[in-house]
Structures are given as C-alpha cells and as structure tokens.
Chain A
Amino acid sequence: MQHPAFEEVSYHHHTDDAEFKKRVRKTTILLSVITVIELGIGLAIYTIHKGENPSELLVLMFKGMVCILSLAKAYYIVSVFMHLGDEIRNMIMTIVVPLLLFIWFIAAFIIDGNSYKNLRNRYDKHFQESTTPKGHHKAAEEKPAEPAKSEKQ
C-alpha cells in the first residue's frame, strides 16, 4: 500500500490546462444534451402508451435509440472523465475486449428469459390469463398459445 509511485511511469495527459478545461466543458454539455434527449424519448414513449393505438414498433425503436444514446454516454464518461482515451492502446484493449463478453452474457439471458415466458404461457394457462395485458392487446386473447410479441409493457 505504501509504495512510492513507480518512477518509470510517466504522466503525459492533458498538459495544456485551458485545452483540458475546454474538453471537460464540452463533454459535460454533451452528456447533458444526451440526457435531455433521453428524457424526451422517455416522455415520447409515455405519450405513445397513453394514446389509443400504441405502435409497438415505434416504442421499440425509441427504446433502441435510448440504449444507443446510453452507450454513447458511457463512452464519453469512460474515455474523457476516466481518461481511458489517454491511455496506451493496449491498456484500452484490456478494458474493452473483456467487455465483449457482455454480448453473449446479455443475449443468452434475455433469450432464455423470453423462452421461459413462452413455456409458461403454453403450459400455465392461469399465468397467461392473469398476466397478459388486456387493455390494448385483444389479439393476445384470440390466439392464446402464441403470445403476442409485445407484452413487455
């Protein structure tokens, strides 16, 4: 714990004070703007849901957009605030490459969650009847074995 700093480690990040401040300011504004856009989309989804005939596709598109925007936010926080962008390329790779594991991690869990729902809807009629939303989704009632794709909301 009480080691001195490595002597051989050199620090060459953002020596220019003014430039650094400018970069921080820019990033802050960017993060705020993205957040505002995200909130706008969140409210848009809300309005769509309140409407008479909500378009599931539109909602899904908006949700996809929010996900991408969040990834952008994460990129700016990690790259600028955490200075990962200033590190040596190999260092960046040791952080970014293991994160790729999340792709299969997320995909498999989500796919299996969805599959579990389908199984329950097929074999547990009570579950299906008591939890499938009836309001806007009359279609789901008509063909009970095949749950509609849009029960998430």
Chain B
Amino acid sequence: MSEATHIHPGSVGHEVAHDDHHHGHHEQSFITKYIFSQDHKTIGKQFLITGIIWAIVGGLFSVLFRLQLGFPGQSFPILETFFGHWAKGGTIQPEFYYALVTMHGTVLVFFVLTAGLSGTFANLLIPLQVGARDMASPFMNMLSYWFFFMASIVMISSLFIQTGPASGGWTVYPPLSALGQASDGSKLGMDLWIVAMALFVVSSLLGGLNYIATILNMRTKGMSMTRLPLTIWALFFTAVLGVLSFPVLLSGLILLLFDRNLGTSFYLSDIVVAGEVLPNEGGSAILFQHLFWFLGHPEVYIILLPAMGMVSEILSVNSRKPIFGYMAMLGSLFAIAILAFLVWAHHMFVTGLNPFLGSVFVLLTLLIAVPSAIKVFNWLTTLWRGNIRLFPSTLFAIGFVSLFISGGLTGIFLGNSTIDIHLHDTMFVVAHFHIVMGVASMFGMFAGVYHWFPKMFGRYLNATLGYVHFWVTMIGSYLIFWPMHYEGLAGMPRRYLDKSIWKSFNQFGDLDKMITVVSIIVFAVQLMFVFNFFYSIFKGRKVTSTNPWGANTLEWTTPINPGHGNWEGEIPEVHRWAYDYGKDGREFIPQTEPVGANESKH
C-alpha cells in the first residue's frame, strides 16, 4: 500500500495535459485553442468575457429602470427608437419595467456573479494555485462553459420574443410565473427562463464537481489542505454550496414547468385570473419559495465566498503581511457554508410562513454574524500596520471590506422577523442586498481581475484608469445605495413602477433623481473599465517578470504566458503555507521554497 512510491511530481494524474504541453502546440487549431478549448485558463477567460458582456447588458437594464424611478413618466424619445412599443412615446411601459427589473436580477445574480465570478476564478486559479496541470476533467470543464453559453443564448433569445422575457421578478414566484394568462411576461418568456436556468444548473454542476475533485485530488506534492491559499478554500466551499443547492432549484423549476404546461397543482390553489376561476386546487405557493430559497440563500454565498477568498489573498499580498488568523478564516468559511443551508426561510418571514418556524430561522440567521465578523476583523488586522501597496486591486479589496461591513450590518436588521415586518419589500432590502452581495462581490471580482490580469494575458491593466474606476465606483455605490436605506425605512416599496401617487414619498423625488444620475455615471465608468480590459489585452504594458506582485502562491511560478499544462517541466513541490510575507526580514517567501534550518515559526 505504499502509494507514495508511485508518485512523481508532475505526474499527479495528469498525463494528457502533460503531453499536450510538450507536443500539442503546433497541432492546435484556432478552434481547439480559443473556442472549444480544454485549457482551464482559456475557459476561465471565456467565462470572464461572457460575464462582462452580461454585466453590460444587466447594468444597462438597471440604468433604464432607474430612469423610470428617478424621472417617473418622463419621456426619453431615444428609448422609443431602440425599444419600440416597449417604450411607447419614450416612456418606459409597465411591462418593460418589470421585464427590466426581472432580467437585471437574473442576469446579475446568475450570469455575472455566479458564472462570471466563480466560473472565471475557479477555472483560472484552482489548477494554478493547487499545482495541477489542468482540471480533473478538462472535457467536462469545457462542457460547463458551453452549457453556460447555451443558457445565455436561451436567456438572450427570450429578450427578443413578442411577449418579452420573464417579468415576475428574478425569484419567479408563482402563481404569477405559473400562469401564462396572468401577464405577458409569464408566457413564453417564462418557459425560456426556466430552460435557461436548467441549462445553467447543469453548467454549474459540471463545473462544481470538477472544482471539488481537482482541489481534493490534484494538489501537488506538499500542498496539504491547510497550505492552500484562502482563494482555493473559498472556491471549494462555493462549489460545495452549488453542487448541493442548485439541484433543489432545478426540482422547484421542474415542478413550476409542470404547473405551467401540464395542468398540475403543485404551487396553485384557489386562483381567479381575469374573472376566470382556475381548477387548480391544493398547491402551495409558499412551497415554491421554500424550494427557491433553499438554493437562493446558498446562492448569496456562492456569489460572496469567491470574492471573500480573493480579497483575503489580495489584502495579504499587498499589505506584505501574513493573513491574520488563517485557521479562523477557514473555520468561518466553513461555518458560513453550513449556515447558508439552514437559513433560507428568512427571505419568507411575511409570506405566511409559520411564525414559530420563522423564529428558529431568525436565530440561525443571526448566527451568521459571528463568522462574518471574524472575517471582517481578520481582514482589518491583516491590513493593520501593514506595508500597504495601494494598487487598484488593493483598493477594490478594501472597498469590498467596507461594503461588506455596511451591508452586513443592515442584514442584522432584516434577519429579525419582527423588524422585517416593517422593512420587507422596501428599498431598505434593495439597499442591503445590493451593498452586501451585489456591489461587494463586484468589488471582489474587480480586485481579482486587476490582480490576476497579468497572469491571464501577460499584460497589466492601466492603473490610472483603475484608480478612476475604483473611486467613482466606490463613491457612486454609496451614493446610490445609502439613501435607499432612508427610503426603505420610510416605507417606500421596492419593485413599484411609480410611487408618485403617495404624497409622503414625494420628499424623496430629488433623492431618486440623484440616485439615477449617479447610477448612469457609475455605469459609464464600468464601460471605461471594459475599455481598459479589452485595450489592455492587446496594448497593455507587458509583464516582464513571472512574479510581478511578489506573491507566494504557485501561479506566479509559471511562465508569464503559460501554455496548456501550466508548468514547463515538473510541477513544483510546496513546502510552506501561502502567507509567508515579511518574515525573517524577507518581503516574501514563495510556497516552493523549502523551510530553512534557522527559520522562525509563524
């Protein structure tokens, strides 16, 4: 049973990638290299670029519905030019507004912050940072991207059909989403939404299984689990969350599809639509919400955990200090992953959920504050008295921490079912989740892109544009979302097309205008980032050393533009954890360096 004797560094189960590396180059056509590529780095880039395209689309949607919210009923003739009867006379029609809101949520939550974030960085970083030539199954990895691509195509196609895309909110609650006769957005668009999401679940499953198997099985020699960078741990828990919770959404959506098309009554009971009494009886609309949020809540952490992991890594690298409390970070990630599965019904306090059951969910929900606080303190103490290098990536990482604190605190308000009675479905909720998971995760993603762009493309992003990008986005995000707390506390409902008939909300008219103007500016700055991204791929400053940031992790031991297989020659062996910064008078000690005889303990 002496397995160890069989192991040679560099042959950790990856003969094929190895071979590719040595004699695969000249045989690769454009199609196998850039389109149906099985190289995890290329697949990561595919996820990233698709995610960026989706982010532009989803962001544009938010600008459009913000126009309506800031300037209710006002005419913008250019809208009619582009959107025809959806914006008759230049005003955004109610159906259009709800379609925009729904698609904004769906696109940003699933296509940008799930696929674009964890899809990108799990693919890029897992093999590079654990020391593997590729994913466990490069083929399934490729399928994962193409299922995502197909999901994207189906979702996009739903934007162009006569009745428009799904418009019942990104949570697609029945009965609205189950009954085609209830609204235009519940017709074909809803079926396409379900199909797209089913494809998306397949994609996320294929990807997630790969990430888990790679992290467990393919670590290079010496890379024990407690030597893994925190990015990998975060991506690992993200994958576990996805593998265990997405299937529940799939089940819920299959039942919804049956309710829509086969006349079943899983979610429907006692319904009258436009004077017609429906025969459906005995279903429960709350059941769908349970199923949806059983995914929906872990989904929040699927979005947030990769950002947390990357921020931990970037803060440590750029403050030239070891991460504070590695094991505590790891433990809190684990605790968050477990709790993510136990708290779903806190999204449903006012739906008719059993109040006693709700109180248990309150308790479990508030427990999340503990690991979250541990993480925040550890980030702050990592920065504390560090030799901080304020790169754009560092700034975005610090911005993430700031947003996570601001948004996390309002989570404590909303986690209490009693306060939720007042705050539910108001702008307060919008402010909370946008700050804590929307913008915060975007910041984590930006931090990751600025930090790993040199590894992806062998060039730097323009730093000046990066600083402008950061400051405008940071200030803009707070300007957009901070006032929404006040609106929400005053009772202003979310999702409403036009609130001007309530006199008491008129005081917020100018505030809403300001929010809209700022969101247009912030959106424009994101387009500037996109320009920076694509410009720098081709024209950016070239990276000249393999380790431009002076980081310890394994990806910086590969060539500047690594081929398929990542390392020329053998995969390096790992001798220490990833956070030996500022140790024994040395700025950083890579993981590949053996522990010296006189080295102090960390």
Contact = CB atoms under 8 A, between A and B. Distances in A.
Q: Answer yes or no: A and B touching, Cβ < 8 Å.
A: yes
B1 A1 contact: no
A117 to B, nearest CB: 9
B284 A101 contact: no
Contacts of A119: 352
Interface majority SS (helix, strand, loop, mixed), chain A: helix
Interface in B507-562: none
A10 B353 CA distance: 51
Given A1-B137, A108-B290, A115-B354, A10 B244 contact: no
A138 B270 CA distance: 26
Interface of A: 1-4, 6-10, 12, 98, 101, 104-105, 108-109, 111-113, 115-116, 119, 124, 127
Contact of A3 (B6, B7, B13): B13
Q: Which 7 A-B pairs have the closest CB atoms?
A: A115-B354, A8-B3, A1-B139, A8-B6, A6-B13, A7-B6, A101-B341
A115 B359 CA distance: 14
A109 B284 CA distance: 12
B14 A109 contact: no
Interface in B338-370: 341-342, 345, 352-354, 357, 360-361
Contacts of A10: 1, 3
Contacts of B286: 112, 116
B341 A2 contact: no
A133 to B, nearest CB: 15
Contacts of A115: 353-354, 357
A56 B207 CA distance: 48
B381 to A, nearest CB: 31
A3 B20 CA distance: 13
19 contacts: A2-B16, A3-B15, A7-B6, A7-B11, A8-B6, A9-B3, A12-B1, A98-B240, A105-B341, A108-B357, A108-B361, A111-B357, A112-B345, A112-B354, A112-B357, A113-B284, A115-B353, A116-B286, A116-B352
A99 to B, nearest CB: 10
A4 B15 contact: yes
Contacts of B376: none
B294 interface: yes
Nearest to A119: B352
B226 to A, nearest CB: 15
Interface of B: 1, 3-4, 6-7, 11, 13-16, 137, 139-140, 217, 240, 244, 270, 284, 286-287, 290, 294, 341-342, 345, 352-354, 357, 360-361
Contacts of A1: 137, 139-140
Contacts of A124: 270
A109 B244 contact: no
Contacts of A104: 341-342
Nearest to A127: B270
Nearest to B343: A104
A50 B137 CA distance: 57
Contact of B14 (A3, A98, A112): A3
Contacts of B284: 113, 116
A4 to B, nearest CB: 6
Given A3-B15, A6-B13, A116-B352, 8 more contacts: A6-B217, A8-B6, A8-B13, A105-B341, A112-B345, A113-B284, A115-B353, A115-B354
Contacts of B345: 108, 112
B1 A98 contact: no
Contacts of A8: 3-4, 6-7, 13
A113 B3 contact: no
B242 to A, nearest CB: 13
A2 to B, nearest CB: 6
Contacts of B137: 1, 3
Nearest to B291: A109
B244 A3 contact: no
A8 B6 CA distance: 6
A49 B341 CA distance: 39
B353 A112 contact: yes
Contacts of B353: 112, 115
A1 B135 CA distance: 11
A80 B16 CA distance: 34
